[in-house]
Chains A and B, each alone.
Chain A
Amino acid sequence: MIEFLQTHLPPLVAGLRVTLQLTVGGGICALVLAALAGLARRSSRRWLRWPATVYVEVFRGTSAMVQLFWFYFALPFFGVSLPALVTGVLVLGLNSGAYGAEVVRSAIDHVPRGQWEAGRALNLSDQRILLRIVLPQALPMMLPPAGNLVVELMKNTALVSLITLSELTFAAQVQRAATLETVPLFALTLLIYFVLAQVLLAGVRRIEHYVTRHRGSRA
């Protein structure tokens, strides 16, 4: 047992580090894209709404793995060759960002219209209504689905192993090929992913708790 961990744990931990880089990098990209595209889809300006809609539909409609292969193998034909890690972060961000945009949009849609109307009656600008009145109410609604998206993004980092980046899944494959200890090795790898998912979910629950901390006193 100890011998098994001694041989396999160091390469798996090295892979886990790359998995974490992909998760965090992809997560930050996704957050920015989700906020921008989600708000743009609610905009009254057509030149903002249309590109956002196309982005969301294309990246939700094609598979994450097809996107990954396209960016890695087809994009060089346009003279753009990105390293595997950059491609991974970019594709994970673009893919989760499209799903996230729908979360943002639907949360904003669920804030009652009266809130906008009351804001306008108080002569607040649209920007102020959005930032000070609507978003603070929409944010708590976004968090539970956002937590699921973060776990989905983390799970999708395994795909990046297929464009030769040595993250956790890739490391497990290399170790398996070297020692053929398939069952304990993959069981350990799955366990690492499982723990990582639980940590991410616990983190999102912390944020949820923080964002809704004022709610108890009012309700």
Chain B
Amino acid sequence: MSWDWHYAWSVLPPLLRAFVVTLEASLAGFVLAAILGLVWAVSRMAPVRIVAGTVFWIVEFVRSTPLLIQLYFLYYVLPEYGVVLSPLAIGILALGLHYSCYTAEVYRAGIEAVPTGQWEAARALNLTPRAIWLRIVLPQALPPAVPVLGNYLIAIFKETPLLAAITVMEMLQTAKLIGAESFRYLEPLTITGAVFLLVSLLASFAMRRLEVAHVFHR
């Protein structure tokens, strides 16, 4: 059996519509990961040992267990506690939570790169901890983290097909359903792969440009 162009064209529109869902999930998941990651990174440096230690192990745990099980966990457990969310919202939550544990490391590297003298000078000027973080440390720590965060946006994008497992109609799930209806998986799955490849290549190209611009800017 060989490639059927006519059939390929006919499955393209529904696949592209599903691609919008894929994009929504990636972007929303990324925003959540970017915000939560910063929370983890800052609280890991909390003066209270218990807080810092707990956050460290939470991040380790989430990072070294499969996203798929975490997805199932949220999907089945949240309703038991009366939290009813759409599958897409749960998927975004899981993606954001999982990748926040990666972005936390990115922020941590940025924070640790701020010279100790900056902390000491800020304390010598009697600034409050809040002011030290918001006005001194983070403005220096965040800009170098931005290009690295972009790589995680691409990584999240490539993980969105997992949401198919909790019935989100993203691109892979759509391709599978189309394939099951017509008994032809080749075209929809190949198109899905091609779209992922195209977008990832374009995105990594854009990221490289951003990194170069960043280096020249500094």
Indicate which residue in A58, A162, A172, A201 contacts B197 across the interface (CB closer than 8 Å): A58
Interchain nearest-CB distance for A67 vs B (Å): 7
**How many residues of chain A get a CB closer than 8 Å to chain B's CBs?**
38
Report whether B197 and A159 are in contact in the complex, using a CB–CB cutoff of 8 Å. no
Indicate which residue in B66, B185, B197 contacts A74 across the interface (CB closer than 8 Å): B185
Please give me the residue from chain A that is nearest to B75 by CB atom.
A182
Please give me the residue from chain A that is nearest to B185 by CB atom.
A73
Please give me the residue from chain A that is nearest to B60 by CB atom.
A194
Report whether A155 and B66 are in contact in the complex, using a CB–CB cutoff of 8 Å. yes
Q: Check if A87 is an interface residue, CB within 8 A of chain B.
A: no
Q: How far is the CA of A193 from the CA of B67 in the complex (A)?
A: 11
**How many residues of chain B get a CB closer than 8 Å to chain A's CBs?**
38
Interchain nearest-CB distance for A163 vs B (Å): 11
Report whether A65 and B162 are in contact in the complex, using a CB–CB cutoff of 8 Å. yes
Q: What A residues does B196 contact at CB under 8 A?
A: 61-63, 66
Q: What B residues does A60 contact at CB under 8 A?
A: 200
Q: What B residues does A198 contact at CB under 8 A?
A: 64
Q: How far is the CA of A169 from the CA of B66 in the complex (A)?
A: 9
Q: What A residues does B146 contact at CB under 8 A?
A: none
Main secondary structure, interface of B, reads helix
Near B by CB (< 8 A), chain A positions 187-214 give 189-190, 193-194, 197-198, 201
Indicate which residue in B61, B68, B159, B176 contacts A69 across the interface (CB closer than 8 Å): B176
Interchain nearest-CB distance for A76 vs B (Å): 8
Measured CB to CB, the residues of B under 8 A from A are 1, 60-61, 64-70, 72-73, 76-77, 80, 158-162, 164-165, 172, 175-176, 179, 184-186, 189-190, 192-193, 196-197, 200-201, 204
21 contacts between A and B (CB under 8 A): A57-B201, A60-B200, A62-B158, A63-B161, A70-B189, A73-B176, A73-B179, A74-B186, A74-B190, A155-B64, A155-B67, A157-B66, A159-B68, A159-B162, A162-B165, A169-B69, A186-B72, A186-B73, A190-B70, A193-B65, A197-B64
Measured CB to CB, the residues of A under 8 A from B are 57-58, 60-67, 69-70, 73-74, 77-78, 151, 155-159, 161-162, 169, 172-173, 176, 182-183, 186, 189-190, 193-194, 197-198, 201
